[in-house]
Amino acid sequence: MTAAQLKLVREHRPQNGPTVATMCPECQQNVDIPVQHQILRPEQACELLQISRTTLWELTRAKRIPYFRAGKGLRFRLTDITAWIEAGGAGLGGFE
């Protein structure tokens, strides 16, 4: 998710198309996010979590953050990342 898209989520602006309700990490309120933004690339996950790419790789290598493989790359489901954050950022492990 880009910084502009994250800003839209934080401001709770409605968007066109199918959406999925999720918890806003900033204000802890339910917001609707377009379905096409549910799968995150590593750089989007870093931006959402406000961590470095190195930290993200360390978490995936240790299987401490949920992820899946898309070809040779890694992807992150927004719902899994949200659940991981709510669980304290640990304990869910990774999966391929």
Residue with tokens 């198309």: 17
H/E segment holding residue 21: strand 19-23
Domain boundaries, the chain: 3-86
C-beta of residue 60 within 8 angstroms of C-beta of residue 68: no
14, β-bridge pairs: none
In three-state secondary structure terms, 71 is coil
**29 in Cβ contact with 23 (< 8 Å):** yes
Q: End-to-end distance of the chain based on CA atoms, in angstroms?
A: 21
Q: What is the pLDDT of residues 28-83, one digit of tens each?
A: 777 766 655 688 899 988 988 889 999 999 999 999 999 999 889 999 998 888 88
Q: What is the pTM of this model?
A: 0.59
